[in-house]
């Protein structure tokens, strides 16, 4: 059984999907901790309700705004919790430094578009759906991929397409992409990684 550490920043619906999939889709790994860079993230409540230990590490307040220190503190916590695989489930900060080195090829991210469209620096959360609607694509979706030093550039594990409909707003589209794609492929992809090797 692999030990999974989840990093979040907000609502935590993808974290919830992972929690709910434990024992059904996700059978080769168990979530042992949830870490947030935002003290107000509702996902922290979801973790507490599920009895999962939580930790808050803020880049500015706890790490003096230093990216390397932020990365080191997250890495230290993950190691302390004996985490094997890290899942970025709506984590809105770029991770680098020690974390990427220590957990090379063991960090998974979910991105709300079909990579390589609408990804990279500055493309996160609602911005991604705004960009897709502005461009006028008819199909979007979600991608689960491994994390490396290139933002949204690691090996793709799974993707699922979602149709754009007339009258979509970024909020409506975000909800459809979550429901039809993200919450389905994230648990499957995490199981894939946990059950390999
Ligand atoms: C999700 O749509 C996730 O794919 C996206 O943020 C949202 C978080 O929602 N992540 C990114 O944009 C990362 N680049 P959640 O907190 O309810 O899971």
What Rg do the C-alpha atoms of the chain give, in angstroms? Answer: 16
| 11 Cβ below 6 A of ligand 1 | yes
Cβ atoms of residues 32 and 3 within 8 Å: yes
- Residues annotated as catalytic (active site), given as ranges: 111
Counting from 1 in the atom list of ligand 1, the atom nearest the Cα of 142 is 4
pLDDT at 95: 80
| 141 Cβ below 6 A of ligand 1 | no
By most ligand atoms within 8 Å of CB, the mutation choice from 38, 112, 162 for ligand 1 is: 112
pLDDT at 94: 80
Q: What is the mean pLDDT of residues 133-158?
A: 96
- pTM equals 0.97
Q: What's the 50 CA to ligand 1 centre distance in angstroms?
A: 20
Q: Which residues contact 49 (CB under 8 A, 6 or more apart)?
A: none
| 113 Cβ below 6 A of ligand 1 | no
Which whole-number Å values give the CA distances from 107 to 45, 48, 70, 148, 191, in the listed order? Answer: 23, 23, 16, 8, 13
How many helices, marked H, and strands, marked E, lie in the chain? Answer: 8, 7
Cβ atoms of residues 3 and 81 within 8 Å: yes
In angstroms, the CA 154 to CA 135 distance is 24
Q: What's the 110 CA to ligand 1 centre distance in angstroms?
A: 7
Residue nearest to atom 11 of ligand 1 (CA): 124
Burial class of 142 by CB neighbour count within 10 A (0 to 12, 13 to 18, 19+) = buried
- Convert the pLDDT of each residue in 44-77 to its tens digit: 999 999 999 999 999 999 999 999 999 999 999 9
Q: What is the mean pLDDT of residues 120-133?
A: 96
Q: What is the mean pLDDT of residues 160-174?
A: 98
Q: Which has the minimum average pLDDT: 93-102, 133-142, 178-187?
A: 93-102
- Convert the pLDDT of each residue in 71-122 to its tens digit: 999 999 999 999 999 999 999 988 888 999 999 999 999 999 999 999 999 9
Over 90: is that where the pLDDT of 31 sits? yes
Cβ atoms of residues 113 and 92 within 8 Å: no
Q: Which residues contact 22 (CB under 8 A, 6 or more apart)?
A: 30, 31
Q: What is the mean pLDDT of residues 149-159?
A: 95
pLDDT at 25: 98
Q: Write out the DSSP string of 149-176.
A: SSTT-SPEEEEEEEE--TT--HHHHHHH
Neighbours of 41 (CB within 10 A): 24
Q: What's the 195 CA to ligand 1 centre distance in angstroms?
A: 24
Over 80: is that where the pLDDT of 197 sits? no
pLDDT at 57: 97
pLDDT at 67: 92
pLDDT > 70: percent of the chain: 100
């Amino acid at each position: 059984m692999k030990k999974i550490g989840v990093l979040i920043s907000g609502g935590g619906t993808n974290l919830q999907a992972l929690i709910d999939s434990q024992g059904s889709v996700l059978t080769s790994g168990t979530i042992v901790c949830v870490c947030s860079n935002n003290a107000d993230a509702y996902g922290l409540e979801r973790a507490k309700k599920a009895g999962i230990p939580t930790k808050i590490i803020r880049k500015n307040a706890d790490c003096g705004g230093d990216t390397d220190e932020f990365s080191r503190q997250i890495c230290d916590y993950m190691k302390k919790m004996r985490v094997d695989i890290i899942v970025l489930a709506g984590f809105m900060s770029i991770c680098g430094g020690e974390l990427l080195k220590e957990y090379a090829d063991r960090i998974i991210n979910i991105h709300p578009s079909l990579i390589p469209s609408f990804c990279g620096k500055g493309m996160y959360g609602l911005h991604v759906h705004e960009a897709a609607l502005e461009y006028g694509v008819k199909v979007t979706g979600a991608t689960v991929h491994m994390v490396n030093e290139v933002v949204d550039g690691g090996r793709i594990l799974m993707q699922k397409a979602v149709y754009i409909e007339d009258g979509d707003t970024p909020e409506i589209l975000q909800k459809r992409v979550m429901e039809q794609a993200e919450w389905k492929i994230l648990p499957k992809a995490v199981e894939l990684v946990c059950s390999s090797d």
